[in-house]
């Protein structure tokens, strides 16, 4: 096997398609070489070597050393320098690179191959001793911390290397690193070496080849550091993937005013606007731009500082987008006026940017509509629906600062200054704004816990901005006029001092920061779509959203319905494009106003007459509910579920006073009510007397509900609106249960027809069942002989298949996720391998006896993109979800087709 791949001088062993083997970085370095971009030569050690390393007690394949040597010789040839040479030394960088980028999670080492002799040679050869010694001190700093483990220790607040650097700067009376003289840097190098020796007990290795293998080991080891593990867990990256290691010839941005380094996006990754977006620093190296030590300049300024390179970069921007057909996130360095490309990858972007970019690129004919659809993570559409600040409230709010708008959206919350404090507060249920001078990968947990992130330093490419974009968090970064005092735990801006726990609001669209909480209002999409506001309809977000939905509608095969219980919800859902109701829960209607008294009366009645009397009172209420729903649907189908919950839920929560009052109304003793409550108590109500089991024991309930539905249908139809009622029997296990209920419903229908003198075709309805018990799925062929439709109730089906209570699982599911028993919460995303089989079986068996069987799903999973794709593959007719998930479901359904 080939363990090492070469790239350089316009050629490469690998190419951009080999991300699994070469990692994202390595594959694209090869690809950039192939398309003729200026890339320093290098070699990539494959991800398979990483797997080998971990499988073989941290040993390497026998041939690795020789392969590395042979490829270093090739690098030397292309670059015209020699590794470890005392005339014209080649320095190397050692860079990690997993399949998917994990920004800042693993380690990079720059300027490798330097030692006491090489530094002199470098200084001589370049005539730039200051640069040579700056490179040396940087190398010591990285090698010392990453490879030799000399870092800030527990309880040590400041990085020990930075302490030495600060001392050098204050001795020299300068402000920034690049102002240190050769002599200052020599002193720093000596101090660094001493520090490393004192703390590690070992000398820093002078031998370049030893330095190289030490660094390669360190990169492979960093695949399993804590940060990387947390990150992998969050993004579901398997540990087996491993990382590749890239060893690349160094080019230097730190040689003086004609040099520099920067990062850029070919378009704005926060908004998606088609502008070149990035920043750079003159006379700087590597992470200087990102680290926030010096404030980088916006990329447009480069046209003054380094006009030639700027021009070349603008050209490369076009070449890259034309080649990769997507927004690129690039890293570059300029050495003495010569531009070098160091990295390119598809840029991570916010939901807003994803939509904008995809639609723009279709217009520019870079990609097809289908590609555009596939490129937008369906879940990200929810960002476009998230609330924004109420304009009037924002105007009145106290502005305390402003920074770069790095993550669009609006967030209000209480400020905390450390990741730990943020996590703790969030666990207590607070909304949190993580407030830091700058964030580092160690802050990841705090960022996950926060509603929004504010930093006072760093630019658009800072760590905070990057992670916020990726997580879809609201973020304002580099609010320079604001000041954080970590010791006092205060944030100061415009003369206002905020303490830990005080409220702060961030407008991530424009970068404004306000003291206090600001009221929110619906997003532009909602304002345009649901509230029909003209101004919002003109916004780019609204227009693009609508366009995208049109494309999705054209492609998708699945119908999208909604789970809605009230006419208002139905109206909203219809505006989102719902094609009907997949689930109306009739019991919600029982709790409203004084209906609950009639419901309780019905439950408590001990005679058939008493029950009938109470049900008679309920009928007009139910009829009115259904009338409203049918009207709002304007002819679209409505699946209405018969009463489902255990009766105890309606009476178990009554206080003594309520019981006494009810007893008075009903003319019974309070003790009678108490005894009925006791009688209805169940040990395991979710598996108890509920669903169709109620309708079978009390058919009069089913009859009342069916009558109310059909009476409403008749009434609405008479007034000229079409109706399509679908009556759904819940919790069926046996075909016989369904048949018994259907008889009751059909009898009720006959009565309604007779009462109104209607022929069969003048009052149509269908009867079907909710599939939520494994037995019904396994015997679906029998059920489908009489049922006209199935609707998978995947919430209960998950509970009953797994024997797992949704309401109680939160205490151990996180541990299950950590231990990788489950990848995701099975109540959020369908367990396709387990519960999925029940769905597949139900579909196949059901259609085997009833070809025309209509099949849908109405659990929470109807709004989860991965589940929607599964339901498409399984051949369902529709998915049903809550109104606000409809756009996500539509997009996922379209993606499922592609
Ligand atoms: P990360 O994956 O964390 O971004 P990189 O491997 O990209 O780490 O390295 C970080 C930075 O180090 C790069 O952005 C670049 O500025 C600098 N760097 C890496 N390799 C070289 C090189 N061969 N020459 C000059 N600078 C380099
Ligand atoms: Mg990088
Ligand atoms: Mg159910």
Question: In which residue ranges of the chain is CATH 3.20.20.60 found?
Answer: 556-646+682-897
Ligand 1 binding pocket mutation candidate from 24, 78, 90, 95 (most atoms within 8 A of CB): 95
Q: What CATH fold (topology level) applies to the domain 386-521?
A: Glucose Oxidase; domain 1 (3.50.30)
Query: For residue 442, what pLDDT is reported?
Result: 79
Whole-number pLDDT of residue 508: 93
* Ligand 1 centroid, distance to 456 Cα (angstroms): 25
Per-residue CA distances from 112 to 147, 200, 247, 343, 446 (Å): 12, 19, 10, 19, 34
Ligand 1 atom with the smallest distance to the CA of 105 is 3
Q: Provide φ and ψ at 514, rounded to 5°.
A: -130, 150
C-alpha separations of 771 from 781, 793, 877 in Å: 12, 6, 15
**What is the tens place of the pLDDT at every residue in 383-424?**
999 889 998 999 999 999 999 898 889 999 999 999 999 999
In this predicted structure, the answer to whether residue 337 has a pLDDT above a threshold of 80 is yes
Among the ranges 221-230, 674-683, 731-740, 800-809, which has the highest mean pLDDT value?
A: 731-740
In the chain, where does the domain assigned CATH 3.30.1490.20 lie? 4-249
Does the beta carbon of 261 lie inside 6 Å of ligand 1?
Answer: yes
Average pLDDT over residues 140-150: 94
CA-angle at 442, arms to 436 and 445, nearest 5°: 85
497 DSSP β-pair partners: 492
Whats the size of the chain, residue-wise? Answer: 898
Binding residue per annotation — 795? Answer: yes
State the Cα–Cα distance between residues 133 and 125, nearest whole angstrom.
13
- Does residue 251's CB lie within 6 angstroms of at least one atom of ligand 1? yes
Q: What angle do CA 213, 214, 217 make, to 5 degrees?
A: 85
Q: Is 858 a catalytic residue?
A: yes
Give the H or E element holding residue 473.
none
Rg (CA), the chain: 33
Q: Measured between alpha carbons, how far is residue 596 from residues 500, 600, 629, 695 in Å? A: 46, 6, 20, 19
Ligand 3 center–CA 516 separation, angstroms: 42
Closest CA to 263 of 210, 328, 329: 329
Index of the ligand 1 atom closest to the CA of residue 263: 14
- Per the annotation, does 772 bind a ligand? yes
Q: Which residues make up the CATH 3.50.30.10 domain(s) of the chain?
A: 386-521
* Pairwise CA distance, residues 262 & 290, whole Å: 9
CATH number of 260-346: 3.30.470.20
Domain 4-249 classification at class level: alpha beta
585 is in an annotated binding site: yes
Among 367-371, 726-730, 808-812, 842-846, the minimum mean pLDDT is found in 808-812
Q: What is the pLDDT of residue 606?
A: 77
The residue behind tokens 């909604």 is: 562
- Token match 């920067």: residue? 262
pLDDT score for 588: 76
Best residue among 286, 334, 466 to mutate for probing ligand 1, ranked by most atoms within 8 Å of CB: 286
Q: How far is the CA of 443 from the centre of ligand 2 (A)?
A: 19
User: 384 and 353 in contact (C-beta within 8 Å)?
Assistant: no
CA nearest 353: which of 235, 460, 451?
460
Q: Tokens 């506001």 — which residue?
A: 533
Cα separation of 388 and 518, whole Å?
10
Predicted local distance difference test score (pLDDT) of residue 84: 95
Model pLDDT, residue 293? 66
pLDDT level of residue 461 (50, 70, 90 thresholds): confident
Kind of pairing, strands 398-402 and 388-389?
A: unpaired
> What is the number of the ligand closest to the CA of 772?
3
Catalytically annotated residue among 692, 777, 858, 881: 858
Q: How far is CA 159 from CA 163, 167, 452, 580, in A?
A: 6, 12, 27, 61
Interface confidence: ipTM more than 0.90: yes
Strand-pair partners of 789: 854
Coil/strand/helix, residue 840:
helix
CB atoms within 10 A of CB 30: 26
DSSP H or E stretch at residue 819 = none
Query: Residues of the chain with pLDDT > 90: what percent?
Result: 80
CA dihedral 396, 397, 399, 402 (to 10 degrees): -100
How far is residue 613 CA from its own chain's centroid?
53
- Beta strands 637-641 and 724-729 are parallel
- The H or E element spanning position 726 is strand 724-729
- Token couple for 756: 């109104």
What is the spatial distance between Cα 890 and Cα 887, in angstroms, rounded to a whole number? 5
| DSSP code for 347 | P
Q: What SS3 string covers 740-771? A: HHHHHHHHHHHHHHHHHCCCHHHCCCEEEEEE
pLDDT digits (tens, 9 = 90+) for 15-73: 999 999 999 999 999 999 999 999 999 999 999 999 999 999 999 999 999 999 999 99
Q: Is 656 a catalytic residue?
A: no
- Ligand 1 touching residue 90 (CB < 6 A): no
Average predicted confidence (pLDDT) for the chain: 94
| Residue 93 beta carbon below 6 angstroms from any ligand 1 atom | yes
User: Please, is 154 exposed, middle or buried when counting C-beta atoms within 10 Å of its C-beta (0-12, 13-18, 19+)?
Assistant: exposed
Handedness of CA 518, 524, 530, 533 (dihedral sign): positive
Ligand 1 probe mutation, 108, 112, 216, most atoms within 8 A of CB = 108
Token duo for residue 853: 């069987």
Closest ligand 1 atom number to CA of residue 285: 16
Least confident window among 19-33, 665-679, 859-873: 665-679
- CATH code 3.30.470.20 region(s) in the chain: 260-346
Compute the average pLDDT of residues 725-736.
98
Q: How far apart are CA 480 and CA 402, in angstroms?
A: 8
From the list 365, 274, 263, the residue with the least C-alpha distance to 313 is 263
The 10 Å Cβ neighbour count of residue 585 is: 18
| Residue with more model confidence, 469 or 162 | 162
- Which one, of 390, 416, 102, lies nearest residue 239 by Cα? 102
* CA 897 / ligand 2 centre spacing (Å): 35
Residue for token digits 């000229």?
A: 720
Q: What's the gap in Å between 649 CA and the centre of ligand 1?
A: 61
| CA angle 726–801–694, rounded 5-degree value | 45
Q: Which two tokens stand for residue 133?
A: 């010694």
**Distance, CA 380 to ligand 2 centroid (Å)?**
25
By C-alpha distance, which of 306, 281, 278, 276 is closest to 296? 281
Q: Measured between alpha carbons, how far is 716 from 626 in angstroms, rounded to an integer?
A: 9
| pLDDT per position as a tens digit, 500-532 | 999 999 999 999 999 999 998 899 999 999 999
Q: Residues with Cβ < 8 Å from 17, sequence gap 6 or more?
A: 27
Contacts of 715 (CB under 8 A, 6+ apart): 623, 627
Give Cβ neighbours of residue 187 (< 8 Å, ≥ 6 apart): 168
Residue nearest to atom 26 of ligand 1 (CA): 286
Going by pLDDT thresholds of 50, 70 and 90, the confidence category of residue 154 is confident
Residue 789 phi, psi (nearest 5): -150, 155
φ and ψ at 840, to 5 degrees? -60, -45
Q: Ligand 1, residue 97: give the atom nearest the CA.
A: 2
Distance, first Cα to last Cα, the chain: 36
Residue range 106-113: average pLDDT? 92
Q: Would you state the pLDDT for residue 292?
A: 63
Whether 753 shows a pLDDT value over 90: the answer reads yes
Residue 469: pLDDT band by 50, 70, 90 thresholds?
Answer: confident
H-helix or E-strand containing 92? strand 92-98
pLDDT higher than 80, residue 476: yes
Residue 8 φ/ψ, nearest 5 degrees: 155, 155
Contact (CB, 8 A) for 742 and 729 = yes
Residue 339: which H helix or E strand, with range?
Answer: strand 338-346
pLDDT score of 147 more than 80: yes
Q: Is the CB–ligand 1 distance for residue 108 below 6 Å?
A: yes
Residue nearest to atom 19 of ligand 1 (CA): 93
- The residue annotated as part of the active site, out of 463, 648, 861, 872, is 463
Specify the fold of 556-646+682-897. TIM Barrel (3.20.20)
Kindly state if the Cβ of 39 falls inside 6 Å of ligand 1: no
Q: Cα separations (Å) of 63 from 42, 216, 602, 806?
A: 18, 15, 82, 53
- Counting beta carbons within 10 angstroms of the beta carbon of residue 78, is it exposed (0 to 12), middle (13 to 18) or buried (19 or more)? middle
Task: For residues 639 and 633, give the distance between their C-alpha atoms in angstroms, rounded to a whole number.
Answer: 11
Query: Quick check: 232 pLDDT over 90?
Result: no
Q: Which pLDDT band holds residue 854 (cuts at 50, 70, 90)?
A: very high
553: Cβ–Cβ under 8 A, 6 or more apart, which residues? 577, 890, 894
What is the Å distance from ligand 3's center to 708 Cα? 21
DSSP for 559-613 reads EEEEE--SHHHHHHHHHTT--SEEEEEGGGGGGSTTHHHHHHHHHH--SHHHHHH
Q: For residue 840, what are the β-bridge partners?
A: none
**What pLDDT, on the 0 to 100 scale, is given for residue 93?**
97
Could you report the per-residue pLDDT of 536-568, keeping only the tens digit for each? 999 999 999 999 999 999 999 999 999 998 899
Residue 443 has pLDDT above 90, yes or no: no
């Amino acid at each position: 096997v080939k363990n090492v791949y070469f790239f350089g001088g316009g050629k490469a062993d690998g190419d951009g398609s080999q991300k699994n083997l070469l990692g994202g970085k390595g594959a694209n370095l090869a690809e950039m070489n192939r398309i003729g971009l200026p890339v320093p030569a290098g070699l990539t050690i494959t991800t398979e070597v990483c797997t080998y390393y971990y499988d073989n007690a941290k040993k390497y394949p026998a041939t690795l050393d020789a392969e590395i040597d042979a490829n270093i010789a090739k690098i030397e040839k292309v670059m015209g320098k020699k590794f470890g040479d005392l005339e014209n030394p080649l320095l190397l960088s050692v860079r990690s690179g997993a399949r998917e980028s994990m920004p800042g999670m693993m380690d990079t080492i720059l300027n490798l191959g330097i030692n006491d002799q090489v530094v002199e040679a470098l200084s001589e050869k370049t005539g730039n001793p200051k640069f040579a010694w700056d490179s040396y001190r940087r190398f010591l700093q990285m090698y010392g911390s990453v490879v030799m483990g000399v870092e800030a220790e527990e309880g040590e607040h400041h990085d020990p290397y930075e302490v030495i650097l600060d001392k050098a700067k204050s001795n020299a009376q300068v402000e920034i690193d690049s102002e240190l003289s050769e002599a200052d840097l020599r002193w720093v190098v000596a101090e660094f070496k001493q520090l490393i020796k004192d703390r590690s007990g070992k000398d820093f290795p002078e031998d370049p080849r030893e330095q190289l293998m030490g660094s390669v080991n360190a990169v492979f080891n960093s695949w399993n550091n804590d940060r990387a593990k947390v990150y992998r867990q969050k993004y579901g990256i398997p540990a087996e993937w491993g990382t590749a290691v890239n060893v690349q010839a160094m080019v230097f941005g730190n040689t003086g005013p004609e040099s520099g380094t920067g990062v850029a996006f070919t378009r704005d990754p926060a908004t998606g606007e088609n502008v070149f977006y990035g920043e750079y620093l003159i006379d700087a190296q590597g992470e200087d731009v990102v680290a926030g030590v010096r404030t980088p300049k916006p990329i447009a300024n480069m046209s003054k500082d380094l006009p030639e390179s700027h021009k070349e970069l603008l050209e490369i921007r076009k070449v890259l987008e034309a080649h990769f057909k997507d927004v690129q996130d690039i890293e570059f360095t300029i050495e003495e006026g010569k531009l070098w490309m160091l990295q390119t990858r598809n840029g991570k972007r916010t939901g807003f940017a994803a939509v904008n970019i995809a639609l723009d690129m279709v217009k520019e004919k870079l990609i097809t509509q289908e590609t555009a659809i596939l490129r937008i993570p369906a879940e990200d559409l929810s960002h476009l629906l998230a609330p924004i600040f109420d304009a009037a409230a924002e105007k009145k709010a106290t502005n305390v600062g402003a920074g770069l708008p790095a993550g669009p959206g609006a967030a209000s919350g209480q400020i905390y200054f450390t990741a730990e404090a943020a996590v703790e507060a969030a666990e207590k249920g607070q909304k949190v704004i993580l407030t830091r001078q700058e964030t580092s990968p160690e802050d990841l947990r705090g960022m996950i816990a926060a509603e929004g992130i504010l930093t006072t330093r760093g630019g658009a490419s800072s760590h905070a901005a990057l992670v916020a974009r990726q997580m879809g968090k609201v973020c304002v970064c580099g609010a320079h006029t604001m000041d954080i005092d970590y010791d006092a735990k205060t944030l100061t801006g415009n003369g206002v001092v905020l303490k830990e726990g005080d409220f702060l609001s961030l407008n991530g669209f424009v970068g404004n920061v306000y003291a206090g909480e600001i009221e929110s209002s619906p997003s532009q999409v909602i304002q345009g779509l649901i509230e029909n506001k003209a101004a919002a309809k003109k916004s780019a977000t609204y227009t693009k959203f609508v366009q995208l939905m049109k494309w999705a509608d054209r492609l998708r095969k699945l119908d999208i319905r909604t789970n809605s219980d009230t006419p208002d919800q139905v109206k909203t859902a219809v505006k989102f494009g719902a094609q009907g109701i997949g689930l109306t829960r009739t019991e919600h209607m029982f709790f409203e106003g004084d209906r609950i008294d009639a419901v309780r009366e019905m439950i408590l009645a001990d005679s058939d007459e008493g029950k009938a009397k109470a049900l008679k009172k309920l009928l007009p209420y139910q009829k009115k509910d259904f009338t409203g729903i049918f009207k709002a649907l304007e002819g679209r189908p409505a699946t209405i579920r018969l009463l489902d919950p255990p009766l105890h839920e309606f009476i178990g929560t009554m206080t003594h006073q309520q019981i006494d009052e009810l007893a008075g109304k009903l003319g019974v003793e309070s003790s009678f009510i108490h005894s009925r409550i006791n009688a209805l108590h169940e040990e395991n109500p979710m598996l108890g007397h509920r669903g169709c089991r109620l309708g079978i024991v009390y058919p009069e309930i089913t009859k009342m509900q069916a009558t109310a539905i059909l009476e409403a249908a008749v009434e609405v139809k008479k007034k000229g609106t079409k109706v399509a009622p679908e009556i759904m029997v819940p919790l069926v296990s046996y075909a016989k249960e369904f048949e018994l209920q259907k008889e009751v419903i059909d009898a009720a229908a006959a009565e309604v027809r007779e009462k109104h003198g209607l022929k069969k075709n003048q009052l149509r309805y269908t009867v079907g069942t909710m599939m939520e018990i494994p037995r019904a799925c396994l015997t679906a062929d029998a059920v489908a002989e009489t049922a006209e439709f199935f609707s998978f109730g995947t919430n209960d089906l998950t509970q009953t298949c797994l024997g797992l209570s949704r309401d109680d699982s939160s205490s151990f599911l996180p541990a299950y996720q950590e231990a990788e028993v489950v990848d995701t919460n099975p109540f959020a995303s369908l367990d396709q391998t387990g519960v999925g089989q029940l769905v597949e079986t139900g579909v196949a068996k059901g259609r085997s006896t009833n070809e025309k069987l209509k099949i849908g799903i109405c659990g929470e999973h109807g709004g989860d993109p991965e589940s929607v794709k599964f339901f498409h593959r399984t051949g369902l007719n529709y998915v049903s979800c809550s109104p606000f998930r409809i756009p996500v479901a539509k997009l996922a359904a379209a993606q499922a087709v592609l």
